[in-house]
Amino acid sequence: MKAAVYDHNGPPEVFRYADVPDPPIDLGDVLIQMEAISIEGGDVINRRSVSPDHPDYIVGYAGAGTVIAVGEEVTDRNIGDKVTLWGLNGSYAQFRAVPAQQTWLLPEGVNFAEAAVIPIGFGTAHHCLFARGKLTRGQTVLVQGASGGVGIAAVQLARQAGATVIAVTSTRGRVGKLLEIGASSVIDYSCEPVAEIVKDLTNGRGVDLVVDPVGATLATSLAVLRDEGTLVSVGNAGGTPLTLDLWPAVAGNRSIFGVFMGTILSRPQVRRTVDTMLVDLSKGSIVVPIDERFLLDRAAAAHRYIETHKIFGRVLLIP
């Protein structure tokens, strides 16, 4: 099969489009012909800063496609099923084998491109808001990095739950889009003081919950929390070591949670959540903005685009 691979970490140009062996299928696996690959933030960080443990390394968490073979122990997937999937690596390829429990069947009317984004982007946002953040109707949520995949999902899901949503982004061009999908207020951190504006918007109280997929913004996220509020840290877009003075959290009796979906996406409760959101997608209750599409052999160009443009939503690779 063809795949976008690299042998060492570095800039986008480390990618090569190469012939590699088809993935083996274990007893509980399904083999999927990939139709759409969602480039996740972790893909970019791994390519940039994590040395691969073998040559011809295939990065990639997320994707969607058609089942073309099933392992002998698989009973709930069939050849021809359309699915979305996740795994810790291996998506940037024409074919991918994953355990069947790491796939979700697509409802009628859901396309591969949008489905590829749901497990990581929306699954992560849902877990941050409800499993960790315990969000309830009437609360106020601040979403850092609101123009990214997790941020866009968090804005929509929080608004649907009856929360007031303050979205933080980095350019005025995204403000209208974030208001359209559910944000009550949008702050452009490149030219506006986030903490001061949040204080004004909340009458000095602070927000109940912050979802932070950025990492470098953790100090600001903690500063805008009310006493006994909750901060959920779910990413490190910059890929640099994170430091945080925890005394404000201690002094304000605030809670800080970390979320890494790679260890929990196959849990039954989380799987059911993703199934529900796929149904919501089929009904039009949520939207999945796709910023741009690149052919798989242009993986380097796709990563360069992400690093040099102010994207809104996800960028996809198409095998």
182-197 pLDDT, tens digit each = 999 999 998 999 999 9
Q: Give the model's pLDDT for residue 171.
A: 83
Residue 279 has φ and ψ, to the nearest 5°, of: -65, -45
> Model pTM?
0.95
Q: Which helix (H) or strand (E) holds 199?
A: helix 194-201
Residue 122 has φ and ψ, to the nearest 5°, of: -80, -35
* CA distances (Å), origin 132, targets 125, 153, 154, 179: 10, 16, 13, 25
Q: Give the model's pLDDT for residue 235.
A: 85
Residue 130 is encoded by which pair of tokens?
């409800």
Q: pLDDT category, 251, cuts 50, 70, 90?
A: very high
> Is the separation of the CB atoms in 300 and 12 below 8 Å?
yes
Q: Give the model's pLDDT for residue 185.
A: 98
Residue-range domains of the chain with CATH:
2-117+288-318 (3.90.180.10), 120-262 (3.90.180.10)
Give the residue among 72, 88, 82 at the shortest CA–CA distance from 32. 82
Using the 8-state DSSP alphabet, how is residue 121 labeled?
Answer: I
Average pLDDT over residues 107-115: 97
Give bridge partners of residue 65 from the DSSP assignment.
Answer: 34, 83
> Is the separation of the CB atoms in 184 and 164 below 8 Å?
yes
Q: Give the model's pLDDT for residue 241.
A: 80
Residue 295 is encoded by which pair of tokens?
């052919």
Give bridge partners of residue 61 from the DSSP assignment.
Answer: none
Chain segment 136-179, per-residue pLDDT in tens: 999 999 999 999 999 999 999 999 999 999 999 998 889 999 99
| Residue 90: how many other CB atoms lie within 10 Å | 20
Q: Give the model's pLDDT for residue 206.
A: 98
Alpha-helical (H) ranges within 106-148 are: 112-115, 123-126
Q: Give the model's pLDDT for residue 124.
A: 97
**β-bridge pairing 95-99 and 29-38:** antiparallel
Average pLDDT over residues 83-110: 97
Chain segment 294-305, per-residue pLDDT in tens: 999 999 999 999
Residue 219 has φ and ψ, to the nearest 5°, of: -65, -45
Average pLDDT over residues 114-131: 98
Average pLDDT over residues 97-109: 97
Does the pLDDT at position 239 exceed 90?
Answer: no
Chain segment 57-69, per-residue pLDDT in tens: 999 999 999 999 9
* Residues making up the chain, counted from first to last: 319
Does the pLDDT at position 180 exceed 90?
Answer: yes
> Rounded to an integer, what distance in angstroms lies between the CA atom of residue 161 and that of residue 139?
9
Mean predicted lDDT score pLDDT of the chain? 96
Does the pLDDT at position 242 exceed 90?
Answer: no
Q: Give the model's pLDDT for residue 149.
A: 94
Q: Give the model's pLDDT for residue 237.
A: 79
